[in-house]
């Protein structure tokens, strides 16, 4: 078995791979931002005094966390057309799915982050006469996010790996790019191997950066 | 929109419905008919469980071994090689998406190692999933061993135990108990991650959902059935692990997980 990577020219990379890489990165960034925003809302709902809000948020998070991501992707792809009334592409469906799915995971991280802020901060804010919105946006959340920034980054790396699962609905991501290139040139083996290397390099670099940051932050504290 | 769960009683070959909803299974002394969608669903569930169970076995054996190797004392060249190898193992299998790893095992590795060409795909998926999860279990194992009080190790050393005995009788029994809670979520993750087997045509639940959705155009009913089975499986795993945790607890040593920090 002879491996031959010579067919990977810049022309091919430009035509097949970059498009997929761009989508994977876009999906990661949008799902992270959307996930953090909706995750914060979910976390605040779970920590609120309103029983109904707590119940809804708890159910949402538990259901999302007990279904495989692939099934969630398929569910949204199946249901989106009947909700919106017209069929949307696999790419748009992937954005919505990932935001909805990751929000459940981010909300658990954010909830732990909020809980890690000492209770005294909460009481002090109350004593100063702050209302809920002031207390959260000025006192609790800034400290909570500082505590959980590393976990959030680790989750983002996992999220980047998970984007490969949009394969199930045929969206054109990084993995799909390599697969199409491999099929077009009749060399799928080299293509899959190269895909693994590219994913590894990206994720390994990112997690090394997170590890470095961890040491830095540990010294400051 | 109304749901039509009768579809599960329909034959997968013809437009007929089985009165018992089972064609192949549970005959109760009657003549076997065409397999129904319910038969197919249960078969798919069995595949999901088979892949998950095999992957879990591989993940536990490899993960606990690799995780333990990472905590070895750096006092000899041989140990340093083992530590480097086990760290490299974790980084390698943690930083490649599970779906890509499944493709590697299915498409690439049989080409490089011809002996694997005859291995059925469900076995390859289980290996891929097992190794992927082993990296995560190894990480927890290492954390579990390092979380033990230093005195345990020192006391064992001062009793003149060899490295092997220290791990066998002192460190591992405690560390294994400590990592049961994170291990529980890894076990549930394996069931969920087994869904990627659809990509290499193992006829498990997710592939069942995709195929029957096209075949019957009753996607919502099929997806509901599949989702329910995933939840049931993951929840059962959770309960089994809870029982194991309770049975193995040493009174007075470790606090129950439910009173953990928060």
Give the minimum alpha-carbon distance from B5 to chain A in angstroms, rounded to a whole number: 17
Residue B164 above 80 pLDDT?
yes
Q: Do B206 and A175 touch (CB under 8 A)?
A: no
pLDDT band (50, 70, 90) for residue A11:
confident
Q: What is the pLDDT of residue B257?
A: 46
Residue A97 above 90 pLDDT?
yes
Average pLDDT over residues B17-24: 70
Give the minimum alpha-carbon distance from A161 to chain B in angstroms, rounded to a whole number: 5
Identify all chain B residues contacting A167, using CB atoms and an 8 Å cutoff. 99, 199
Give the minimum alpha-carbon distance from B51 to chain A in angstroms, rounded to a whole number: 15
Q: What is the pLDDT of residue B26?
A: 67
Question: In whole angstroms, what is the distance from residue B2 CA to residue A22 CA?
Answer: 40
Identify all chain A residues contacting B199, using CB atoms and an 8 Å cutoff. 167-168
Average pLDDT over residues B93-104: 94
pLDDT band (50, 70, 90) for residue B30:
low
* A98-139: pLDDT as tens digits: 999 999 999 999 999 999 899 999 999 999 999 999 999 999
Kindly indicate whether the domain formed by B10-251 is annotated with CATH number 1.10.3720.10: yes
Taking a C-beta distance cutoff of 8 angstroms, is the pair A97, A72 a contact?
A: yes
Taking a C-beta distance cutoff of 8 angstroms, is the pair B195, B210 a contact?
A: no
* B213-245: pLDDT as tens digits: 888 878 888 899 999 999 999 999 999 999 999
Closest residue in chain A to residue B230, using alpha carbons only: A67
* CB nearest to A68's CB, from B192, B219, B235: B192
* CB nearest to A200's CB, from B96, B98, B206: B96
* B79-96: pLDDT as tens digits: 999 999 999 999 999 999
Mark residue B153 as left, alpha or beta (left: phi above 0; alpha: psi -120 to 50; beta: remaining). Answer: alpha
Q: What is the pLDDT of residue B258?
A: 42
User: For the domain A10-175, what is the CATH code?
Assistant: 1.10.3720.10
Q: Do A196 and B101 touch (CB under 8 A)?
A: yes
Q: What is the pLDDT of residue A220?
A: 57
Q: What is the pLDDT of residue B262?
A: 34
Average pLDDT over residues B144-172: 92
Taking a C-beta distance cutoff of 8 angstroms, is the pair B153, B76 a contact?
A: no
pLDDT band (50, 70, 90) for residue A23:
very high
Residue A80 above 60 pLDDT?
yes
Three-state helix/strand/coil letters over chain A? CCCCCCCCCHHHHHHHHHHHHHHHHHHHHHHHHHHHHHHHHHHHHHHCCCHHHHHHHHHHHHHHHHCCHHHHHHHHHHHHHHHHCCCCCHHHHHHHHHHHHHHHHHHHHHHHHHHCCCHHHHHHHHHCCCCHHHHHHHHHHHHHHHHHHHHHHHHHHHHHHHHHHHHHHCCCCHHHHHHHHHHHCCCHHHHHHHHHHHHHHHHHHHHHHHHHHHHHHHHHC
Q: What is the pLDDT of residue A188?
A: 85
Closest residue in chain A to residue B111, using alpha carbons only: A1
Residue B12 makes CB contacts below 8 A (sequence gap 6+) with B34, B35, B36, B37, B39, B40
Q: What is the pLDDT of residue B28?
A: 61
Please report, rounded to a whole number, the percentage of residues in chain B having pLDDT higher than 70: 90
* A194-214: pLDDT as tens digits: 999 999 999 999 999 998 988
Q: Do A66 and B92 touch (CB under 8 A)?
A: no
Question: In whole angstroms, what is the distance from residue A23 CA to residue A29 CA?
Answer: 10
Neighbours of B157 (CB within 10 A): 14
Q: Report the SS3 class of residue B187.
A: helix
pLDDT band (50, 70, 90) for residue B55:
very high
Domain locations in chain B as residue ranges: 10-251
Choice between B2 and A183, residue whose per-residue pLDDT is larger = A183
Give the minimum alpha-carbon distance from A56 to chain B in angstroms, rounded to a whole number: 18
Mark residue A87 as left, alpha or beta (left: phi above 0; alpha: psi -120 to 50; beta: remaining). Answer: beta
Q: What is the pLDDT of residue B195?
A: 93
């Amino acid at each position: 078995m002879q491996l031959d990577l010579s067919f990977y020219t810049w022309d091919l990379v430009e035509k097949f791979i970059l498009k997929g890489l761009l989508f994977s990165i876009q999906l990661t960034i949008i799902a992270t931002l959307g996930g953090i925003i909706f995750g914060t809302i979910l976390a605040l709902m779970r920590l609120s005094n309103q029983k109904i809000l707590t119940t809804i948020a708890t159910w949402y998070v538990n259901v999302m966390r007990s279904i495989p991501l692939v099934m969630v992707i398929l569910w949204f792809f199946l249901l989106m057309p009947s909700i919106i009334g017209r069929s949307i592409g696999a790419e748009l469906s992937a954005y919505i799915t990932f935001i909805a799915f990751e929000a459940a995971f981010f909300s658990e991280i954010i909830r732990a982050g909020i809980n890690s802020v000492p209770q005294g901060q909460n009481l002090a804010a109350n004593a100063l006469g702050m209302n809920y919105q002031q207390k959260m946006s000025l006192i609790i959340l800034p400290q909570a996010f500082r505590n959980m920034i590393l976990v959030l980054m680790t989750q983002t790396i996992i999220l980047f790996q998970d984007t490969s699962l949009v394969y199930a609905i045929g969206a054109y991501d990084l993995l799909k790019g390599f697969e199409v290139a491999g099929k077009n040139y009749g060399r799928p083996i080299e293509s899959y191997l190269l895909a693994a290397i590219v994913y590894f390099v990206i994720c390994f670099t990112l997690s090394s950066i997170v590890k470095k940051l961890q040491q830095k932050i540990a010294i400051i504290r | 929109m109304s749901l039509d769960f009768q579809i599960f009683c329909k034959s997968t070959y013809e437009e007929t419905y089985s009165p018992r909803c089972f064609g192949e299974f549970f005959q109760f002394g009657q003549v076997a008919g065409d397999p129904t969608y319910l038969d197919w669903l249960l078969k798919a569930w069995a595949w999901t469980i088979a892949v998950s169970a095999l992957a879990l076995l591989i993940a536990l054996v490899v993960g606990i071994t690799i995780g333990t190797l990472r905590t070895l004392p750096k006092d000899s060249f041989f140990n340093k090689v083992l530590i480097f190898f086990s760290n490299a193992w974790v980084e390698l299998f943690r930083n490649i998406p599970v779906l890509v790893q499944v493709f590697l095992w299915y498409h690439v590795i049989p080409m490089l190692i011809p002996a694997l060409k005859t291995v059925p795909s469900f076995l390859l998926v289980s290996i891929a999933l097992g190794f992927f999860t082993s990296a995560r279990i190894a990480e927890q194992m290492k954390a579990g061993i390092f979380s033990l009080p230093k005195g345990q190790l020192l006391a064992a050393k001062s009793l003149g135990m060899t490295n092997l005995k220290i791990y066998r009788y002192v460190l591992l029994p405690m560390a294994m108990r400590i990592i049961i809670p994170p291990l529980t979520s890894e076990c549930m993750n394996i069931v969920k991650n087994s869904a990627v087997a659809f990509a290499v045509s193992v006829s498990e639940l997710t592939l069942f959902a995709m195929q029957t959705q096209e075949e019957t155009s009753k996607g919502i009913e099929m997806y509901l059935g599949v989702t329910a089975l995933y939840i049931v499986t993951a929840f059962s795993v959770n309960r089994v692990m809870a029982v194991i945790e309770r049975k193995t607890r040493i009174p007075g040593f470790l606090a129950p997980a439910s009173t953990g920090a928060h």
